[in-house]
Structure 1
Amino acid sequence: MLKTYPTVATDPGVTRQVLSHSPELMVVAFRFDHAGAEGRLHSHPHIQSTYVESGRFRFSVAGQALEVARGDSFVIPSGAEHGCICLEPGTLIDTFTPRRDDFL
């Protein structure tokens, strides 16, 4: 059975929506509606994989700059401080292992 999860505002111009999850894995869409919208620097114990569905973003991952666009993907290690600034509006699809219970 498919379940629809609510869209939650996380930062100005940024929303988050859980797409699916199990205890071991979670898939989440982050939508950025304008250039300059920011995913603030943070860290968590989960391993994160990010896929750029659309748009263009400048990430900081463990102090290193990374610019990504549609079709790019990368992994953020557990505990690494990271965040991004939206350069062109778009959507990031993040996968977390284990699941981010704080998103439920």
Structure 2
Amino acid sequence: MSYPITHPDRGVARQVLAEAPELMLVSVRFEAGATGALHSHPHVQSSYCVSGRFRFLLNGEEHDLRAGDSLLIPGGAEHGCHCLETGELIDSFTPRRDDFL
């Protein structure tokens, strides 16, 4: 199944790659300077950096990611990111983010 590309924020393109009630895989492409606003959700999230450079804020702590790095975000944790160099993240969520469908 092919899912549409959405643009949740300026300079951000998101596409669901696969989903089931227990798990969701999402590609998120960022232009340099784009931001994923601070937010939280009950889902456990894992972010894998495919390309580019990102600075994540997770519960008040900064984490820099480059290609090949990953970050685990517990459910309920406040987090967001700033794209330092154009790139792509692959995010997985458990359970599925129904709000993305």
Is 1:85 the counterpart of 2:82 in the alignment? Answer: yes
Q: Quote the sequence identity (%).
A: 62
User: For structure 2, which runs of at least 5 residues remain unmatched after alignment?
Assistant: none
TM-fit CA distance, 1:19:
0.2
Select which of 20, 26, 29 maps to 1:28: 26
Q: Distance in 2 between matches of 1:80 and 1:15?
A: 23
TM-fit CA distance, 1:74:
1.4
Equivalent pairs, count = 101
Q: Distance in 2 between matches of 1:91 and 1:75?
A: 16
* TM-score, normalised relative to structure 1: 0.96
User: For structure 1, which runs of at least 5 residues remain unmatched after alignment?
Assistant: none
Is 1:50 the counterpart of 2:47 in the alignment? Answer: yes
Aligned to 2:69: 72
Select which of 1, 4, 21 maps to 2:2: 4
* TM-score, normalised relative to structure 2: 0.98
Deviation string 1:42-64 (CA, Å, 9 cap, x unpaired) is 00000000000000000000110
TM-fit CA distance, 1:102:
0.3
Deviation string 1:18-42 (CA, Å, 9 cap, x unpaired) is 0000000000011002x21000000
Superposition misfits of 4+ residues, deviation over 2 angstroms: none
